Amino acid sequence: MNIKILGPGCRNCVNLTKAATTAVRQLGLDATIEKVEDYAAIAGYGVMSTPALVINDKVVVSGRVPTLAEVRTLLSSAAV
C-alpha cells in the first residue's frame, strides 16, 4: 500500500503523518508513507486545502486532520 501526505509541512501535516504512521503500525500493514511538499505535485492531486491523505493515489481526506480511528478505518478499507 502507498500512502502520501500532501502539505507544505505545517503543524497539521505533521499531525496527519503521525496519525498515519501509528495507524499503519497498529494495523500491521505493509505500507510506504511518503510526504509530498511540492506545490505543483499537490495541485496535481486536485488538492487545494492541506493537509491531504492519499491512499494508493486516491485522495481520501483533504483540508482537515482526521482522527486516528478514522485513518485506521480508511486504511483498513483500502487494504481489502
Partner 1 sequence: MSIAERIPTTAKGRVGVLGAGVGLWALAYWVNEWLWDAVLFTGFGLDPTSRITETIHFFLYDSLKILLLLVIIIFASTVLRSFMSVERTRAFLGGKREGVGNILAAGLGVITPFCSCSAVPAFIGFVAAGVPIGVTMSFLIASPLVNEIAIGLLLTLFGWQITALYVVSGLTIAIGAGWILGRLHVERWVEPFVFDVRLGGQVIDPSLGLTFGQRMQMGVEEVKTLLAKIWIYLLVGIGLGALIHGWAPTDFFATYAGADNPFGVLIAVLIGVPLYSNAAGVMPLVVALFDKGLPMGTLLAFMMAVVALSLPEMILLRRVLRPQLLAIFIATTGLGIIAVGYLFNAILA
Q: How far is the CB of 5 from partner 1 (least distance, A)?
A: 13
In the complex, the residues that contact partner 1 under the rule CB under 8 A are 7-8, 10-13, 39-40, 42-50, 52, 59-65, 67-70
Q: How far is the CB of 78 from partner 1 (least distance, A)?
A: 15
In 9-57 the beta strands, taken as DSSP E runs, fall at 32-36, 52-55
Query: Which among 2, 8, 9, 10 is annotated as catalytic?
Result: 10
Burial 9-43 (b: 16+ CB within 10 A, else e): eeebbeebbebbeebbeeeeeebeeebbeeeeebe
Establish whether 46 is a catalytic residue. no
* Residues with catalytic function: 10, 13
